[in-house]
């Protein structure tokens, strides 16, 4: 399910990663609510994610989308693939990301794949290790992509040392 929305004249596509039913046990029985993990991106360099919780699914999705649009991050150096391999880590989640040649496509798990799709990366290989928690995998993937530097940036950093 991909929809478009305008924020500051930019078009963001949204993707629903996970919808969970959460039960709270009270004196009279169980009270059910829903949590939705949403990721948004503009297919070039901006990405955001949010977790919305509510009594019904559409409201949880709306809250998650609003939180995702508030927490937009900018990622540089991305065209068709990434310039070099990188490792992203968040809590116990570990994601290894490798560049791929043209025509390879996106070879990764479902969570990392959705991150790459909303960023507009077409050729990439990724492997998630240790964790299967969706929110931790999203954070680890974004953490790895934020570590990317181009060749000229590396050269400038080496000169400063």
Domains of the chain from N-terminus onward: 2-74 (3.30.160.20), 86-150 (3.30.230.10)
- Give the predicted TM-score (pTM) of the model: 0.86
Grade residue 30 by pLDDT with cuts at 50, 70 and 90: very high
Q: What is the pLDDT of residues 32-42, one digit of tens each?
A: 999 999 999 99
Q: What is the pLDDT of residues 114-131, one digit of tens each?
A: 999 999 999 999 999 989
Q: How far apart are CA 34 and CA 71, in angstroms?
A: 21
Q: How many helices (H) and strands (E) does the chain have?
A: 4, 9
Q: What is the distance, to the nearest Å, from the Cα of residue 104 to the centroid of all Cα atoms in its chain?
A: 21
Q: What is the pLDDT of residues 86-116, one digit of tens each?
A: 999 999 999 999 999 999 999 999 999 999 9
Q: How far apart are CA 48 and CA 70, in angstroms?
A: 8
Contact in structure between 148 and 83 (CB atoms under 8 Å):
yes
């Amino acid at each position: 399910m991909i929809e478009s929305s305008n924020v500051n004249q930019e078009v963001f596509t949204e993707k629903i990663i996970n919808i969970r039913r959460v039960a709270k046990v009270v004196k009279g029985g169980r009270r059910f609510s829903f949590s939705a993990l949403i990721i948004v991106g503009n297919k070039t360099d901006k990405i955001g994610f949010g977790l919305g919780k509510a009594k019904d699914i559409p409201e949880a999705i709306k809250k998650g989308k609003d939180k995702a649009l508030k927490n937009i991050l900018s990622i540089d150096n991305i065209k068709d693939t990434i310039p070099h391999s990188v490792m992203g880590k968040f809590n116990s989640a570990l994601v290894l990301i490798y560049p791929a040649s043209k025509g390879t496509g996106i070879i990764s798990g479902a969570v990392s794949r959705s991150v790459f799709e909303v960023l507009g990366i077409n050729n990439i290989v990724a492997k998630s290790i240790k964790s299967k928690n969706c929110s931790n995998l999203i954070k680890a993937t974004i953490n790895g992509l934020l570590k990317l530097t181009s060749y000229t940036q590396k050269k400038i950093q080496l000169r400063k040392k």
